[in-house]
Amino acid sequence: MEDKANIIEAFSELAPRYEQVVNSELNRFWGWSYTGFVNLLISSTPIHPQDIILDVATGTGVIPSLLEKGGHPHNQIHGLDITLSMLKHAKSRLGGQDGHVNQNLVCASAMEMPYANSSFSQVICGLATHHMDVNKLLHESYCILQSGGKLTIADVGGSEIMKFPGIKFLVRIFAFCYFLLFENKMRAWAESSAVSNVLSKEDWSLVLLKSGFRNIVIQKLSTRYFWVPAPLLIKAEK
Ligand SMILES: C[S@@+](CC[C@H](N)C(=O)[O-])C[C@H]1O[C@@H](n2cnc3c(N)ncnc32)[C@H](O)[C@@H]1O
């Protein structure tokens, strides 16, 4: 099955129980709670009152909702996701059809964002880059950001151990078996295919520079086990 269709199918099935499942997965592998992780992403994003923010792969809208409640009610906040069922949950979380973020939710791929150049001053993305072609994501993000605009990402990163030949393949097999056992076949395909998109801290620096970003700061976050690819917090500027 094509990756995109597979991702949509996996997240459509996951949507009703998304936060609960992700919370237990982050906890199991990284020792992070889901809210702790997204709160760290938000608190690392330097938001000014006039910022226009896009949350890429917004899922069930947890990040926009925390932004709204957490002292940024006047910012224009947009959310984009490829899975309609995830966005339906975002709509109910964000206060019905009339909520201002609700009117800014778009079902589309981050590989082809439906926004004019220089539309945003902040682009955020949590727990989703591993499902994407990172070069395309960065190209699209660069285009839609205003000059001086900020990009903040928090997601899994590749560990040093993954550079050894065959290790990525083993991680892929592990991911497939784990998600097949604890979740289902769609999720197993989606998460095991995603392993090839996972970049190390050094690789992130290179692709960000190649895409035109500057002032790049990448921080490795804590993880529970040395053999589990650790999360990264990535900040860059156009
Ligand atoms: C693990 S969830 C993260 C959701 C949210 N950012 C959060 O922190 O809870 C991954 C999300 O990425 C979305 N996604 C995957 N590939 C995408 C793409 N190419 N464009 C837009 N969204 C995508 C999925 O539909 C899913 O909602």
All structural domains of the chain with their residue ranges: 3-158+198-237
Residue 206 alpha carbon to ligand 1 centre in Å: 23
pLDDT of residue 68: 85
Residue 109 alpha carbon to ligand 1 centre in Å: 9
DSSP 119-179: -EEEEEEES-GGGS-HHHHHHHHHHHEEEEEEEEEEEE---GGGGSTTHHHHHHHHHHHHH
- Euclidean distance between CA atoms 78 and 61, whole angstroms: 10
| 59 φψ region: left (φ > 0), alpha (ψ -120 to 50), beta (else) | left
- Euclidean distance between CA atoms 58 and 46, whole angstroms: 18
**Cα–chain-centroid distance for residue 150?**
15
Pocket test of ligand 1: the residue of 8, 11, 66, 129 to mutate, having most ligand atoms within 8 Å of its CB, is 11
- Euclidean distance between CA atoms 191 and 21, whole angstroms: 14
Cα dist from 116 to 2, 119, 134, 144, 196, whole Å: 28, 6, 20, 6, 30
- Euclidean distance between CA atoms 1 and 189, whole angstroms: 9
Amino acid identity, position 226: F
- 229: Cβ below 6 Å to ligand 1? no
| Full pLDDT tens readout for the chain, 238 residues | 458 899 999 999 999 999 999 999 999 999 999 999 999 999 999 899 899 999 999 999 999 999 988 777 678 999 999 999 999 999 988 875 556 677 799 999 999 999 999 999 999 999 999 999 999 999 999 999 999 999 999 999 987 777 777 888 898 899 999 999 999 999 999 999 888 899 999 999 999 999 999 999 999 999 998 878 899 999 999 9
Q: What is the CATH number of domain 3-158+198-237?
A: 3.40.50.150
User: Residue 79's beta-bridge partner residues?
Assistant: 55, 105
Summarize pLDDT for 84-116 with one digit per residue, the tens.
Answer: 999 999 998 887 555 667 779 999 999 999 999
pLDDT of residue 99: 61
- 59: Cβ below 6 Å to ligand 1? yes
- Euclidean distance between CA atoms 32 and 4, whole angstroms: 28
- 193: Cβ below 6 Å to ligand 1? no
- Nearest atom (ligand 1) to Cα of 38: 8
Q: pTM of the entire structure?
A: 0.94
**Cα–chain-centroid distance for residue 34?**
13
